[in-house]
Amino acid sequence: MSKAALLIFCIGLFFFGCKKEEPLSEVPEITLLNVGPQIIKAYEDSIYFSIAYKDGDGDLGDTDPLAKNLFIQDHRINLTYEYRIAELVPGGASVGIQGQLNMAIANTVLTRNSEKESVYYRIWVTDRAGNRSNTLVIGPLQVIK
Q: What is the pLDDT of residues 42-58, one digit of tens each?
A: 999 999 999 999 999 99
Q: ∠ CA(106), CA(61), CA(22), 5° rounding?
A: 115
- pLDDT-derived band at 8 (thresholds 50, 70, 90) equals low
Look at residue 93 and tell me whether its pLDDT is greater than 90.
Answer: no
What is the arithmetic mean of pLDDT over 3-14?
A: 51
Q: 23-144 architecture in CATH? A: Sandwich (2.60)
pLDDT at position 12 over 70: no
Given this model, what pLDDT does residue 21 score?
58
Give the integer Cα–Cα distance in Å for 100 and 13: 34
Average pLDDT of the chain, as a whole number = 89
* Residues near 145 by beta carbon (within 8 Å), at least 6 away in sequence: 41, 42, 110, 114, 115, 116
The better pLDDT of the pair 15, 69 is held by 69
Domain ranges of the chain: 23-144
What pTM value is reported for the model? 0.82
Residue-by-residue DSSP string for 23-49: PPPSS-EEEEEEEE-SEEETTT--EEE
